[in-house]
């Protein structure tokens, strides 16, 4: 319940960010449309507000839709985008084999298909689950997880990622990745 409340708050903050962007673009358009005669200017121009809202909406929505479409193949696209390397089932690396065993155990316990496992070349301790549904989910852990965590600790990290798979957080996260990309696209254009 707490996670759902925080997720709702996060979505509200994203909506507020877009509304603030619209207000900033409106202010910029208002400033650009004023003449230099220093005459009093009305701050209410519905046509400029509509133009700002449409412009921000098209850029954020279009860029966000592009990014979501790019990630449409599910969790694998996210893992590869972040530089992950899939761990083959035939690996001879002891830590990677242990990771595969843990993921398989968790999938069996959760009653979901065993997701592909990726390792990110990152020295810190980090992990994520990505995908639209349990059937296209992946689990990725950083090399730091493999280097520094005990089996029990690694199992706890993987269990946490499976909670994201089971609660459907991943679908929302991919949409939020698209929204963040849309906001970034607007800043890049600016």
Of 182, 172, 163, which Cα lies nearest the Cα of 132?
A: 172
Is 114:145 a contact under the CB 8 Å cutoff?
Answer: no
Region of 109 (left: φ > 0; alpha: ψ -120 to 50; beta: rest) is alpha
pLDDT tens per residue, range 76-86 = 988 998 999 99
Reported residue count of the chain is: 190
Closest to 25 (Cα-Cα) out of 180, 175, 179, 189: 189
pLDDT at 106 over 70: yes
Report whether pLDDT(38) > 70. Answer: no
Considering the chain, what percentage of its residues have pLDDT values greater than 70? 96
pLDDT at 3 over 80: no
Predicted pLDDT at 145: 97
Q: Are 49 and 91 in contact (CB under 8 A)?
A: no
The catalytically annotated residue of 47, 104, 105, 161 is 161
Provide the pLDDT for residue 44.
87
Instruction: Express each pLDDT in 117-143 by its tens digit.
Output: 999 999 999 999 998 888 889 999 999
161 is catalytic: yes
């Amino acid at each position: 319940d707490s996670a759902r409340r925080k997720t709702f708050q996060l979505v509200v903050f994203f909506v507020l960010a877009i509304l603030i962007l619209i207000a900033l673009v409106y202010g910029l358009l208002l400033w650009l449309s004023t003449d230099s005669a220093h005459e009093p200017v009305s701050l209410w121009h519905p046509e400029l507000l509509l133009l700002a809202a449409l412009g921000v909406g098209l850029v954020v929505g279009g860029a966000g839709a592009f990014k979501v479409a790019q990630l449409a193949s599910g969790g694998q696209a996210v893992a590869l985008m972040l530089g992950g390397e899939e761990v083959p089932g035939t690996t001879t690396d002891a830590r990677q084999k242990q990771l595969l065993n843990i993921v398989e155990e968790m999938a069996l316990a959760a009653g979901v298909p065993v997701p592909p496992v990726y390792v990110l070349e990152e020295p810190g301790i980090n992990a994520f689950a990505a995908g639209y549904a349990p059937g296209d989910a992946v689990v990725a852990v950083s090399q730091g997880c493999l280097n520094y965590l005990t089996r029990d600790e690694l199992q706890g990290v993987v269990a946490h990622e499976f909670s994201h798979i089971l609660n459907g957080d991943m679908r929302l996260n991919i949409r939020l990745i698209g929204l963040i990309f849309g906001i970034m696209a607007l800043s890049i254009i600016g």
